[in-house]
Chains A and B, each alone.
Chain A
């Protein structure tokens, strides 16, 4: 699942015929000033300026300013750019026209197991969240497009009347087309409003989640996906992602500040069981990591170095199930090199390493790990006869 910021999200909607307010995304106040000279709407409309970053609660943080004229928007942009919120530095501001309106509605399309669901409500904004029963849905099977009659019924069921019924049905139809054509997993517009100037329905805000795996058939996806957890990626995380994108198999790394138990397990499934075991034992995770699909040893080495660089760690859990085809000796070779490098750089002082693994060439791999003891590592190595997460129990025993 790949989150897309408002700007590119609205761009995709516009591409499929959904009315969106005029907007620009800028990286400096000067750029906005120049754009103001070129675009009439910026001089004639009231404007909204928002920090264009993957940040929650922007209103509370003062990163949304409404009812501005161009000068006000320039000033707001100047103020927002460069602001530091947690690990995120605001580097872009989206400035859009305010659309005067009275009523607010809601429309979304989401992915379901069978296909998708089109959601419509004749209330919007925060009102819809407290009146979830007013949201009406149309379930569609994959490969099926909604018929106009189905959409009109949905619109009617949601309480739309008169000319608005068809308008909302059309709007929802376009939302579905956008969803289906862009390999979206979730599209939400809240609120949808009636533009007073021409009576058209306009999408005022967009939440867009795309299927990152479908990027290969969307050459116009020229935007970067945003981190989904309210902070930007750290340098080490970005470096591991860069490695991940280059290799067969995968390596994953996410830092969790403040933890003391570092994770270096194999497999997308086992890694979560290891994390669960740490939490269940009262430990504090310092990171999430995972390597799988028989990645090259150098990639695992990079991952290992990052894990060893986590501050304040006491234990490293090198766990893993019995692999199907990941070569234990080879991948452990990468981990061992990473450990040696880290030790050479003065890291791993007082850190205990716990290993459990099985799979192709498990004996050679585990023997190589055991031999690290002779190099002065505090390492405990277990084979398949020790249940998967027992090393976590041993590591966190008080």
Chain B
């Protein structure tokens, strides 16, 4: 048996993220004791209609979120308990809503900093309705082996260590949330553990106090003794003492009180919880409380440290008198499934990675490119071409190579609005399309007929050089196996109207006196093809390709140089159109050759 929280408890949680976290903790407990999840609904108006996912074992349970308590209890008539995780300024309204629902019998409020008056109104309202209002500032309520309300009990390991999977004989009532676990742990180590532990909250006027809960424990046959953990201020401990001393009680009462340090502190200095304030004229001091408890016949250890032995002694008496029997521990307890990360950390599982990378690592405080920290590259004077070298070819290129790449990029950054890529971007920009999509529209144009010949050009020039072909052999091979030579030929440029970009790049690379077998071969090819037809010149794609192959870049990366450079231009075109607030464009009829059939009658559908 237990009090307040038991096998029949079904819960609605009022609140957002903190409430979901509590539900997770509650699910861990449910999983430990093999009962279905106690939380049936959330009430949180901003997310009404959605669900919260709560892990249970290795699965996930979707718990519906409602706008009001009434909706929650209508859809889940078994709900009889509400946990309030709402901010202090709205907590009273939420608490009242729960109390006023006919299905709900227990409301426990975790919210801290609730105005005193609100807490009193909630407590009074609950008493009037014959319900329980626990808190505010309550860590929760836990009944061993039966039910957990809130995060009380802590992490899963602690639930097991504190033997919360099965009933003991000790009830616990504490103002302090932090100490609740400590007492539960002590009860499990010095005795057979707890029945129910209740955090009543550290405020000055808890909605339900020690006496009400002592009455409930007194009526719970499984509970043989109750531990109360008090603190200076107010008169709750005195009232508990009064209750205990009033007549012979079935349960034994063990009590500790904190706040003796008050006596040796500067006057007026008060510590601890909001409720831990000294009463007028000395009443409410730790000493007066501890005296009152002693006088009532309760066991009052002198210090917190002596609490364990006192509980042990009580337990021994209960054993000897036959009131309790040594508990039998279950042979096997469920283990909480670990997350993959936790299991990997503990070397318990091997995961086949989904992807593999050999170029960069972002797991530290900054990205590393091929192992080099980005900031160090910057500080040592490296530039964009070096980053390209690291990420595309996994090597730190030389200053000279970087200069060549820089020039290639500068030469191919843009080629006016009329080419396929820029035109597509402009068209998209004028249709109101966003930057990334509009630029993507331009990039999509890059292919065999526009800008996308760099890789292929590089591949075949390299093939020729690697296989020591001469120009004639190469042209025959290409004609037979491939088709037109990629990198040769231009739509408008010709021998008489040369492409200045090609001239510039070739001139610069040749001036460096480095070995350029591919470029030399490409130029030799041009010598032959341009004679056949005026515009079969080495174009900018072919030039770039030959140079980059000579620098050692992998063939598959070559189109990347054009894509990257041209992206600069495409972004420029998009921004340009945006800045002008350009209107939507469509083709004029006269720009279209309408070669479709003339208008005709549609035959009947067969």
Contacts and interface: CB of A to CB of B under 8 A. Distances in A.
A183 B178 contact: no
B447 interface: no
Contacts of B176: 267-270, 321
B304 A275 contact: no
B161, B232, B270, B272: which has the most chain A beta carbons within 10 Å? Answer: B272
B529 interface: no
Given A141-B124, A358-B158, A256 B178 contact: no
Interface string B116-130: 111011011000000
Given A143-B124, A321-B181, A387 B305 contact: yes
Interface in B229-270: 229, 231-232, 234-235, 256, 258-261, 263-270
A324 B277 contact: no
Contacts of A292: 177-178
Contact of B153 (A229, A293, A324): A324
Interface in A308-348: 320-326
Interface in A258-276: 266-273, 275-276
A321 B154 CA distance: 11
Given A270-B182, A323-B154, A277 B268 contact: no
B178 A320 contact: yes
Nearest to B189: A385
Contacts of A269: 174-179, 202, 229, 231, 258, 272-273
A277 B182 contact: no
A142 to B, nearest CB: 4
B181 A115 contact: no
| Chain B CB within 10 A, most for which of A211, A276, A320 | A276
A272 B231 contact: yes
Contacts of A326: 178
A111 B271 contact: no
A323 B113 contact: no
Contacts of A390: 305
B8 interface: no
Contacts, number: 186
B154 A322 contact: yes
A217 interface: yes
Contacts of A185: 116
A360 B202 CA distance: 22
B216 to A, nearest CB: 19
B112 interface: yes
Contacts of B286: 276
Interface in B153-184: 153-155, 158, 161-162, 174-182
A42 B271 CA distance: 43
A113 B116 CA distance: 10
A300 to B, nearest CB: 14
A10 B180 CA distance: 42
Contacts of B209: 113
B276 interface: yes
B497 interface: no
Nearest to A279: B261
Given A113-B205, A229-B269, A276 B117 contact: no
B181 A358 contact: yes
Contacts of B256: 273
A277 B152 contact: no
Interface in B289-334: 303-305, 308
Nearest to B175: A269
A182 to B, nearest CB: 10
B115 interface: yes
Interface residues of A, number: 57
A323 B304 contact: no
A58 interface: no
Interface in A177-225: 180, 183, 185, 211, 213-214, 216-217
A5 interface: no
Interface in B332-384: none
Nearest to A215: B115
Contact of B114 (A213, A254, A285, A361): A213
B139 interface: yes
A292 B273 CA distance: 11
A171 interface: no
A324 B152 CA distance: 6
Contacts of A322: 154, 158, 162, 181-182, 185
Contacts of A266: 178
Contact of B179 (A141, A270, A279, A293): A270
Given A229-B268, A387-B305, A270 B124 contact: no
A393 interface: yes
A111 B116 contact: yes
B177 A256 contact: no
Determine which residue in B114, B162, B229, B305 has the highest number of CB atoms from chain A within 10 A of its CB, and name it.
B305
B88 interface: yes
Nearest to A320: B178
B117 A142 contact: yes
Contacts of A268: 176, 178, 202, 272-273, 276
A56 to B, nearest CB: 8
B181 A142 contact: no
B437 interface: no
A229 B178 CA distance: 26
Given A213-B115, A269-B273, A142 B154 contact: no
Nearest to B264: A279
Given A269-B231, A276-B261, A256 B154 contact: no
Interface in A157-186: 180, 183, 185
Interface string A358-398: 11110000000000000000000000100111100100000
Given A324-B181, A358-B181, A359-B181, A273 B304 contact: yes
A280 interface: yes
B267 A211 contact: no
Interface string B208-235: 0100000000000000000001011011
Contacts of B185: 322, 358, 384
A228 interface: yes
A1 B209 CA distance: 20
A288 interface: yes
B436 interface: no
Nearest to A289: B271
Contacts of A361: 155
A278 interface: yes
Contacts of A393: 305
Contacts of A278: 261
B186 to A, nearest CB: 8
Nearest to A216: B89
A267 B513 CA distance: 75
A146 interface: no
29 contacts: A211-B115, A211-B117, A213-B113, A229-B268, A229-B270, A256-B265, A268-B202, A269-B202, A272-B258, A273-B256, A273-B304, A276-B258, A276-B260, A279-B261, A279-B263, A288-B271, A292-B177, A322-B154, A323-B154, A323-B181, A324-B177, A358-B182, A359-B154, A359-B158, A359-B181, A360-B155, A360-B158, A387-B308, A388-B182
10 residue pairs, one from A and one from B, having the closest CB atoms:
A269-B176, A267-B178, A321-B182, A214-B115, A229-B268, A275-B261, A142-B120, A322-B181, A272-B258, A360-B155
Interface of B: 21, 25, 88-89, 112-118, 120-121, 123-124, 139-140, 151-155, 158, 161-162, 174-182, 185-186, 202, 204-205, 209, 229, 231-232, 234-235, 256, 258-261, 263-274, 276-277, 286, 303-305, 308
